[in-house]
Copies of this chain bind each other. A is one copy, B any other.
Amino acid sequence: MSSTDTPKTSFKQRMLQVREDAIIHAVNRLLAEKGFEAMTVDEVAAQVGIAKASLYKHFSSKEDLAAAAIVRGMRRAQNFIGGLPSEAPPLENLRAVVRWLLEVKLAGDMPILPSQSSSLRATLMVNSDYMDSLMAISDRLEKWIEAAQTRGELSQRLPTIAILFTLFACASDPVVEFLQMGGRFTDEQITDIVLATYFEGINAR
């Protein structure tokens, strides 16, 4: 009995998971492309190829929909950061994180963060998955920043928190889109340029 039942429900759950993955993927692309306000639930449904009402069986609101995509993004960031060698120089790891963020962004996979007052912001603030990921990432990066400052590799005149925010801000840096729009630079060049402005600044050295 259970030998036949268990695979059956497992299969169903797998299909459900696949469907939800497809939804989140579509949401992620739309968030990256036009942001939360401009994205409509109709678009999401159309892109996934299901009816809008079906979406609401999986997620109870537009905010939940977006939150799911953003939480997935945070988890990925957490995984990437967790996979970095803790014995490596902290500055190197920090550069790797920014490089990774820029690559995700250049690939059009970076969901827009709610920089201003938005219903999404409120939803995220009470989402413990989101907040946990955010805290975990912040802690890890902050330790590396402090270590790099102690070693004299990062500026000791800048507050640690300001450097942390600067790294986070790269997720929504409009310079990337600007440079991409012109079409005069490859993705690798854009990555190098933005990395250089963050770490070395625009002044000559």
Chain B residues with CB under 8 Å of A196's CB are 155, 157-158, 201
Q: Are B162 and A197 in contact (CB under 8 A)?
A: yes
Q: Are A169 and B174 in contact (CB under 8 A)?
A: yes
Residues of chain A from 157 to 187 with CB closer than 8 A to chain B in the complex = 157-159, 161-163, 165-166, 168-169, 172-175, 177-179, 182, 184-185
Q: Are B166 and A197 in contact (CB under 8 A)?
A: yes
In the complex, besides A38-B116, A166-B202, 17 extra interface pairs with C-beta distance below 8 angstroms are A35-B116, A38-B118, A91-B203, A154-B203, A154-B204, A157-B196, A158-B193, A158-B196, A166-B175, A169-B173, A169-B175, A197-B201, A198-B201, A198-B202, A201-B201, A201-B203, A205-B205
Chain B residues with CB under 8 Å of A173's CB are 169
Q: Are B179 and A117 in contact (CB under 8 A)?
A: no
| Copies of this protein in the complex | 2
A87 an interface residue at 8 Å Cβ cutoff? no
A33 an interface residue at 8 Å Cβ cutoff? yes
Docked pose: A202 CA to B158 CA in angstroms:
7
6 contacts between A and B (CB under 8 A): A34-B117, A115-B174, A149-B204, A155-B200, A159-B185, A169-B173
A7 an interface residue at 8 Å Cβ cutoff? no
> Could you say which interface size class chain A belongs to?
35 or more
Docked pose: A201 CA to B203 CA in angstroms:
8
Q: Are B155 and A204 in contact (CB under 8 A)?
A: yes
A80 an interface residue at 8 Å Cβ cutoff? no
Chain B residues with CB under 8 Å of A163's CB are 197, 202
